[in-house]
Amino acid sequence: MRWLIVNGDDFGASAGVNRGILEAHRRGILTSASLMVNMPGSAEAAALAREAPSLCVGVHVNLTNEGGEPIVELDDAPACRAELERQLARFHELTGRAPTHLDSHHNVHRRAALLPLFVDLASRHALPLREHSPARYFSSFYGQWGGESHFEQIGVDALARMLRTELGEGVTELACHPGYVDPGFESSYHVEREAELRTLCDPSLPGTLGELGFRLIGFAELPRALGPTPG
């Protein structure tokens, strides 16, 4: 069986991003989102999530903000550990529930000094951590590199090709960044979000997923997808 989690990063970054993620969930194939708890749209995102109970919501730990400027010294392990705990607590305050998964903005959890902190947090709270869980992380559905937009990479044909040729058996997390352009939201990844949104909502995709044997799930369904543990 092929299981697919379609996860929207940057939930809470802005009103436009929030609107896009909810639309991609309600009209498209998005099943999950990662919430930034220290961004201007975080409270609105949490409120919208309460209106969409089938949307899985995890923590998108933000230590760098959109421009890459660290909000805490990334080499200061105690400070970073405290910030991770603070953001997890803030998630509970905003949503009133536990997160379904854990990841990070700009994938800072890959840094050697930070990874043990993320692994520890994920272990203590039984959270799937991106790239450290049974869900394979797939990041190629992204429309910018080399300082240029590549809309051909986030079109319907491109996504269908990826589903056919690059995603294997088991569980895959397909990362995405749908949204609407917000004049007040400064981001290097901007108009590409609307292109992603159009693709994720394309009416042909459910048929393609069914043809290829994919079943859409959220992170909350990950244990059931993996089946019973032997022993």
- In the chain, where the domains are located: 2-226
CB atoms within 10 A of CB 137: 16
pLDDT category at 67 given cuts 50, 70, 90 is low
pLDDT of 143 higher than 90: yes
pLDDT of 46 higher than 90: yes
| Greatest extent of the chain over all pairs of C-alpha atoms, in Å | 55
Joined together, the tokens standing for residue 138 give 């797939």
Question: What is the rounded distance in angstroms from the CA atom of residue 80 to the CA atom of residue 10?
Answer: 20
Question: What is the rounded distance in angstroms from the CA atom of residue 209 to the CA atom of residue 224?
Answer: 19
Q: Assign domain 2-226 one CATH number from 1.20.120.160, 3.40.50.2300, 3.20.20.370, 3.60.15.10.
A: 3.20.20.370
Provide the whole-model pTM: 0.95
Judge whether 10 and 57 are in contact, CB under 8 Å.
Answer: no
Question: What is the rounded distance in angstroms from the CA atom of residue 26 to the CA atom of residue 11?
Answer: 15
Question: What is the rounded distance in angstroms from the CA atom of residue 209 to the CA atom of residue 139?
Answer: 18
Question: What is the rounded distance in angstroms from the CA atom of residue 23 to the CA atom of residue 3?
Answer: 21
The predicted model gives 152-158 an average pLDDT of: 98
Judge whether 192 and 143 are in contact, CB under 8 Å.
Answer: yes
The predicted model gives 160-174 an average pLDDT of: 96
pLDDT of 228 higher than 80: no
